[in-house]
Every structure is written in structure tokens, then in C-alpha cells.
A and B are shown apart, each in its own frame.
Chain A
Amino acid sequence: MIELKNISKTFKVAKRNAGFSEVLKALFKKEYEYVKALQNVSFKIDDGEMVGYIGPNGAGKSSTIKIMSGILTPDGGECVIDGLTPWKDRISHVQNIGVVFGQRSQLWWDVPVIDSFELIREIYKVDDSRYKKNLSQLTELLNIGEIVKTPARQLSLGQRMRCEIAASLLHSPKLLFLDEPTIGLDAVSKIAVREFIKTINRENKTTVILTTHDMQDIEALTKRILLIGKGRILLDGSLSDLKERGSAHKTITIDYSGDKLPNLDHMTVSKDIGGHAEIIIDTEQVTASQAVSYISSKVEVKDISVMGESVDEIVASLYKEFEI
């Protein structure tokens, strides 16, 4: 059970303009700017939930994760995770969490991965039987049996990421933070990682908090979404809530015979290059099937496809709506 109440954090950032004279000036008198990274962030997450935490760059995602994992101390507010305050009870708190920073490694670079695992086991004081059980489960699910004997520096990004995830689950944490786990991965690795996250959430009841910019991750994994922007929680709901917040437009793409489309009621032709056109409909006025039959009554349609807005587009329009 995770509970955040009115968490705030401000960073002091040194500021100066470009140019040599400004450099000299900054030597003697520094100007600072206060950036409110988080303002009154509050939310609750139950055990076993899988939550997607999204927002544009610099919105405060990483800061929140760092506060929840005990790295940063907030300026104000409360955060209680399983009865512990992360930055006060750091050592007992981190025993129960696993953290994967997608862009940073936790493996020792020059030694075989399995050696890193052994050391991590010592750090977390994992007992023998549990270590063996976890290790065999993880190597099987993540398919890393072959590569654990290779030094980390010789692994591909996808292989390394799978090892990173395994490394943060060796001590069977109740809570797993994933900070952009699929960044830079190829399609196969992405799907493997997603499948794995689903499995451990389902079978081990691990609570997962996932930050990502990849909306496919969100679609594939999470039921609940927290949207953060400019340090505030803007939306807390399901993926379908998010889709409702998006506009009710659909795009119909057709190939037709003829040179030009006739006028169509309630529809906007966004592109017409003779034989190929894109039509935007407003689903509040006309349903997609009505639109399709209406269009085919007007012109001879050779090929047709209907597309809703992608999650990426919805999120982009939300960012715009909230001016973040």
C-alpha cells in the first residue's frame, strides 16, 4: 500500500545567459531559479496494482520515483509505503523494493552477470533456497540462462535490460519501480519484457509502477494511469478514461475510383489526391459504420480503413490541453 499526500519538491537551479561576459559574471554572482518539480502530489496505490506513470520530460516523474524509493527527501508532504517513510527508514524500506533505471546499469560492468547476481544476493541477504528459486524462475521467464556467464559489458542492450530486471527481482521485492524499461529495445525484447512484467505482477502479486514514454507499454500493461505535468497530478484513471478525454475523432482512409470526392455531410476531407483520400469524422455526430456506408453510397470505394486516435495522439493532445 502506497500513499502520497501533498508531496512537494523544489530544486534550485543556477541560471546564466550565454556568452563569455555572462560566464565571468556568474563567477561572482550566481543567479538562481527555483523550479517546482512537484506540487502537492497525492495518490494511493494498492498492493498488486500495476500503474503507468506518464508525463512529458521534466514533468516530475523521476522525482516522484526517487522520493518513493528513498533517494530524494521531499520539501514537504507525507509518503508512507507499507508503513515506512522511504527517506527516514531507507534501509528497511529498500529491502522491499526493486528499482530498474532503464538508462543506468546496476550490474558490475566487467564481470559475468551471474557474479553480480551473487553479490546482490549478499547485499540483500537473500537466503539460499529463495535465491535458487528466484534465480531459476527469472532465468527461465526472461530467457537469460545462456547469457548470465557473459560480462555485462559484452551484452546487447536487450540482453542487458533483461539481466537488469532479473537483478532487481532477486530479493523478491513487493514493489517494483520500472523507469523506462523498454527504452532503446528492439520489438522482440520489448515484447519479452512486457510479457515478463505481466507475469510477475500476476503470479507474485508484485506491485509495479512503470514510467515510460512508450504508449504501447502502457496499452499492453497497465489498467491505471497517472498523468503528471508541471509537477501536478492531472489525471488518475484507466486507459479508457484517458481515451474519453481525447477528442472523438476518427480518420477514414479510402482508395476510390474517380478524380475527386463529392461533398460529404458532417465530414471533413483532410486530404484528397485523386483516388486516395483521408476523411475525418466526429463520432458524436455520426458513427463510423454510418460514415462508411454513406461514403460507399457516394463513391466507388476500392479500399477502406478506419483509425481511432492512437494513445500517443491522445496523450499529446492532453499535454496540449493542460499546457504542459
Chain B
Amino acid sequence: MKLYFKYVGMLLKSQMQYKASFIMTALGQFLVSFTAFLGVYFMFSRFHSVNGFALSEILICFSVMLMAFSVTECFVRGFDVFPRLIQSGNLDRILVRPRNEIFQVLTSNIDFSRVGRLLQSILMLAYAVPASGIVWTFDKIMTVVFMLMGGMAVFASLFVLYAGISFFTIEGLEFMNIFTDGSREFGKYPLSIYGEGVLKFFTYVIPIALFQYYPFLYLIDRSEDIGLIFLPLLGFVFMIPCYCFFRFGLRKYKSTGS
């Protein structure tokens, strides 16, 4: 853990070498997610509710999703840009160092400029928490905490899966963005509004709904089922197959010529 912070310090130092670039990127991130927020806001100024969900309720959904995504994207960035790690040959370097591979990939890249997006989601959550009209009892607070944790677990797994695939096809992985960036976009609204099929897909294939939709129902008192609080933690189970797949890819790793 001490080593992790050393790495973090190193990366922070590196990124602060280019302060202007850092600030511009962070600002850009903030603005992009802000326009998304405006989109939701203007729609609700006309319709007041979507599928029976009020704006303030949806904002909770939105901000939890955004926060989970931006935290993951910041700290699991190494897996997100994994193909670059392979192409540049830096994975070789990782493999000749006496530390766990996952740890080293995580510390190869941490993107602090994602704080823009993170800040946006914090602001949104800060607005939605009192505005939603939810009575914040202990179980409700825990639900939100679990939703965030589960969300990070699922997104991290998706990035690891993405990295695993890139062992086999070094290029042409854009389709994976459907699952990562796509989930983020889909996840702005409670997943049920897209219909039964999409909900099933995001429950059983890519388990986004586990942390976004079902516990959300408990949160806004649509469901009384206590079990829904813990459902997001299943996201950690999703990590296992993704991790195994990554290990499998690593064994098949070919390296690049030099």
C-alpha cells in the first residue's frame, strides 16, 4: 500500500509537469458531463417525469453512475489504455519487475484530470440527496454506498475484461466502449425505462442494473425488499471471471518485436 502511494505521488508529479493541459482536460471533463446534466434537466422541465420517476430521483441514479464511473476511470485507467501498454512494449517492463501484474498495471497510469467529472457527480449528488425527498435512514445511506462500490467493481471488471481482450486483438476494440461509455450513458436513467430486453441485458450480461436499478427501487421506496440493498455487492463477483480472463490472456501474451 505504501508503494501504491509512492506510485500515485510519482504520477501526480508527472502530470503536474503539464499544468495547463491538466486544467484544460479537467475543465473539459466537467463541461461534458455538465451538458449531459442539462439535457436531463431540460427534458424534465417539459415532462416532469419519465416512466414515473421524478427528476430528483433520476439525478441520484445519474450521479451515482457518474461517480462510480469517474472514480474507476481515474484509478483503473491503466486497464482502460491497456492496448497502448502492449503496443509500446511497456508491459514487458512490468513483467520483469517483482510485483503483481495487476498492481503494476493499475499504477502504470492514473488519470487525475478525471476529477472534473468526479466533481460534477459530487455536485449533482449533493443536490439530489436533499431534493429527492428520500428519508435518509441508515439503510438508505448504506444502499447508496453499496451502489457506488458495486458500480466501481463492475466498471473496473469491464476495464479488466477489455484489457484481456486486447491480448488477442491488439486493435479494433472500440466495440467495448459500448459497454463502458455506453453503460454510463444508458445508466443516466433507471434502466427499466428502456424496456424489458435492455433491462435483462444489463442484469444478466453486463450487470449494470445490479447496482443502478434494483437498489434504486429500494431507495425510492418502490420496493420493500431488504435484499436489494446488498445486490450491488454482486458486482464484486463479476470481477472474478474478468480477472481470470485477463490472466488467461497474459499467458498467451506475445510481446512486440524490438
Contacts A110-B14, A111-B10 given: A104-B98 contact, CB under 8 Å? no
Judging by beta carbons under 8 Å apart, are B98 and A62 in contact? no
Bound-complex Cα distance A94 to B10 (A): 23
In the bound complex, residues from chain A placing their C-beta under 8 Å from that of B96 are 69-71, 94, 97, 99
CB-contacts of A93-107 with B (<8 A) = 94-95, 97, 99, 101, 103-104, 106
Bound-complex Cα distance A4 to B10 (A): 38
Q: How many positions in chain B have a CB within 8 Å of any CB in the partner chain?
A: 27
CB-contacts of A61-93 with B (<8 A) = 62, 66, 69-73, 90-92
Main secondary structure, interface of A, reads mixed
A187 at interface, CB cutoff 8 A: no
Judging by beta carbons under 8 Å apart, are A124 and B10 in contact? no
What are 12 residue pairs bridging A and B, where the CB atoms are less than 8 Å apart in the complex? A69-B96, A72-B254, A73-B251, A91-B98, A94-B97, A101-B258, A104-B89, A110-B13, A110-B14, A110-B15, A122-B6, A123-B99
Judging by beta carbons under 8 Å apart, are B3 and A104 in contact? no
B137 at interface, CB cutoff 8 A: no
A residues at B contact (CB < 8 Å)? 11, 58, 62, 66, 69-73, 90-92, 94-95, 97, 99, 101, 103-104, 106, 108-111, 115, 118-119, 122-124, 151, 179-180
Bound-complex Cα distance A213 to B82 (A): 31
In the bound complex, residues from chain A placing their C-beta under 8 Å from that of B10 are 108, 111, 115, 119
Judging by beta carbons under 8 Å apart, are A122 and B14 in contact? no
Interface 1/0 per residue, B1-27 and A, CB below 8 Å: 011001100100111011000000000
Judging by beta carbons under 8 Å apart, are A11 and B90 in contact? no
Interface 1/0 per residue, B237-258 and A, CB below 8 Å: 0000000000000010111011
In the bound complex, residues from chain B placing their C-beta under 8 Å from that of A69 are 95-96
B185 at interface, CB cutoff 8 A: no
B93 at interface, CB cutoff 8 A: yes
User: A101: which of B3, B14, B15, B92 is its contact (CB, 8 Å)?
Assistant: B92
Judging by beta carbons under 8 Å apart, are B89 and A101 in contact? yes
